[in-house]
Structure 1
């Protein structure tokens, strides 16, 4: 039976919906020494854990609880810390949405605020206690912290400083908490595992439990994206187009280089229950296939690549890289049409849907010269029919066949991208606009 997590999701959704603000800076602390016990705890995750998604257990018809409809939830990954919000974008599909409705009035609402170092763009829920509450893990440029949001006002339980130096401010933005109580945070060319002390107490002091370093000559490389496969491995992507799978105790790894070494990445990655790893780069939208033993781009294994409109080589204001500004979001479960959803890099940004699995036999390209895998490509104008430019640096929110995009266009001001993001709370530079799209499975149009 599901617990009522609506207020948890509200807190996390409000954090996730804020404009991206990134600041650069170093601290003077030395690397924190890691405990050697990341692999000591027995992995008692039950492979037969009941999936809470609508299609994971066909015999489970419990898709509506207390009036909340869970039928559009993707399969729950049992290796994550529950299904409230255990990772950036909430789940491996990176949908960034929740079945719980938002508030319809201000009755019973209250605000609680904690100061800290910039910039914590998302938070994740850790392991739940016996009452169903869970602490919130967060990551800033310089700190990892733990909050008890069940108390009012919120209580900061523990803070630990990160190792000094930031080579890429995007690294560390995407984090996740696993079912064994570990919180994983990328930083530069390393992946850090934190846990509570004592182990098993979700509200205990934060300690560093382990460090994974990218293989090879990786000093100038940064881990950008992070997710969890449905067989319990961490999967990451670097800014230089390398995809890696590593066990959660860091004892085993598989690293794969995308076929074009000139491809760059500035977003996280999505994962499905069939081993698909979805990676958008400065040139292509890829499905890299995890077979359980290796990563491959072999089409016979289910992998594919498709070109999309990447736009100009100079990134516009509001963007952190060339091409798409969105982490791929997965749309469709069960017998539904299944897609990968991104925003492209055109000056007037478009919403793009790619067929996720096999392309329907009768499907024709949407226009001459377009990749046949593209199912839809429509302009995003945020309601302005005369719009000539639009931009977003957010993953597309997906729920069922609905997709929502928010604006990150800061206007025609010659401001450095990071500075523009930092001042985006001021009306002069603030981005305005939200637009919703829906896929029609009957007409197969967006």
Structure 2
């Protein structure tokens, strides 16, 4: 039974992926199109004779590949344009908007039957109003037949049951039943597509009208960029749950840096010991390799049991997230030192301390900085999980509390802030690596 349920879930996921393929293909097509346009423009602007034109090999040459800032700018701009297009944003020209939900007045005709009566037709007029507004059902004439015309009002992206038998001369006691919509036969569990929506029939025979949703996302699921910006300005000026936005972000940063520094202070010496001593490597290697794939989320129950729900528990969780990454990075840095350099130092009469200071540490620092960047990213991503442990302040707390009340604009705002700050931290670590390890890639 469980296998059939699993296969059904897999089928649903597969169908969802297949439905998303056209959008993924369109996005890839846009990337390739912008690449072709950029290369054409670059070819027009680039002199015929320069250093690049003299290189015999460019594809596969890592030194010839650097981040293209034009591609980065276009990529970010495209994401925001797509975001605005699928939310009907005022920041995006209307001709770029994806088709939105139907708003206005529409109608459909149903055919009803009753015991001992000839089939009759009536019209249902529906007024679809925008979300957040109120819409009254339009007034309609009842008509001349025993099946009377009906009206109702439904919000965009919503659906509503319409009891067409309520005002008919013959109701369900007289065997009232709907047999067709707009001339198409319909039965319980079936539906008929109309010009501006879909009419379905419930198992009990009640009609359900669902207005056309279009391609745009409902604001409760994905708000427009200006709505997120408005919420950001509101929280930046008024705060959220008794604390300012700066306080929330400061608490998150403090937890991340505290956990990362503790993990580095223990992980780096542990990695050096594992790289220099077979005894330490044999002792700690099983522990490190066992804990490395364990996600920090799985440790939350233990952290609560051991350290409680205070600040210590959050820092401990981030410490454990960084510890194993830093230990493996330091061990890899030591293992990557060319043995010829060690032999050369010994031949010049260097002691173990001098080899450690002048050979092993300088040559292992690039690996350690790479591990530090990874560890910082993991810690910053884990802070959301860490702040699930009864946090009163923090970016993760903002996201989790907002999600409970379906405040999607706050959730997206928090995600964007976390991404921007994480990217800023990574840039700072790259600059630090460039300043402290200028010999990376040169020796």
Q: Is the shorter-chain TM-score for this pair beyond 0.5, marking a shared fold?
A: no
Larger strand fraction of residues = 1
Q: Pick the TM interval, shorter chain.
A: under 0.3
- Higher CA-based Rg: 2
